């Protein structure tokens, strides 16, 4: 429900709420692809929809930051369409009935779509923000991650320009993913020294 839009950080949650209102099961993402395209264009940002439906939105660096390495925020727009057996819900037509339940955001008898709606919402918040000092930013919104990786598999070489890709499709707080778009889990342990971040 709309109280989700009032959660903090509001800039992220309002975008997540908007995504819950757009039907977007895997392989049926036309509405959310169009929504993302319009989002980027309405911000006046370079917006590309590629041959399979991935959406790329580019935000120029803050003046004086143009020489910094560019960051790509990547998330996927599709969601798993699962519901309780007693729930009447058409994932191709009906919005997700999401609501706040204590400390949690949940959905009424269906999957929530936080995988990866929350990652997409975070990238959208950065694209929209006019109060951040930043390097060149790209947002890569891929399609059909849940049932085939179609968007990622068909991304043409050279279409994204950034230097560092941050995949926003993570599940565990406090863990850093080097990459998660694949079928292999690798656990790596290493020693490191903590250093202060530059001012």
Q: Which residues are catalytic?
A: 78, 145
| Distances, alpha carbon 167 to alpha carbons 116, 138, 177, 191, in Å | 10, 12, 8, 24
Distance CA 146, CA 127 (A): 24
Distance, CA of 17 to chain centre: 13
Distance CA 128, CA 30 (A): 22
Distance CA 65, CA 23 (A): 37
């Amino acid at each position: 429900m709309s109280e989700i839009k009032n959660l903090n950080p509001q800039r992220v949650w309002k975008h997540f709420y908007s995504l819950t209102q757009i039907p977007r099961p895997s392989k049926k993402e036309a509405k959310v692809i169009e929504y993302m395209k319009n989002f980027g264009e309405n911000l006046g940002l370079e917006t590309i929809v590629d041959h399979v439906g991935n959406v790329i939105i580019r935000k120029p660096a803050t003046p004086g930051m143009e020489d910094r390495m560019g960051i790509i925020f990547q998330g996927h727009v599709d969601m798993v369409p699962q519901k309780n057996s007693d729930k009447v819900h058409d994932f191709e037509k009906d919005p997700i009935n999401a609501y706040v339940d204590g400390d949690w955001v949940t959905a009424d008898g269906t999957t929530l779509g936080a995988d990866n709606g929350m990652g997409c919402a975070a990238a959208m918040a950065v694209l929209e923000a006019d109060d951040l000092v930043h390097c060149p930013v790209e947002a890569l919104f891929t399609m059909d991650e849940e049932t085939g990786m179609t968007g990622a598999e068909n991304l043409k070489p050279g279409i994204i320009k950034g230097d560092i890709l941050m995949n926003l499709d993570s599940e565990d707080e406090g863990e850093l993913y080097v990459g998660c778009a694949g079928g292999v889990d690798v656990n790596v342990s290493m020693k490191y020294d903590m250093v202060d971040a530059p001012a």
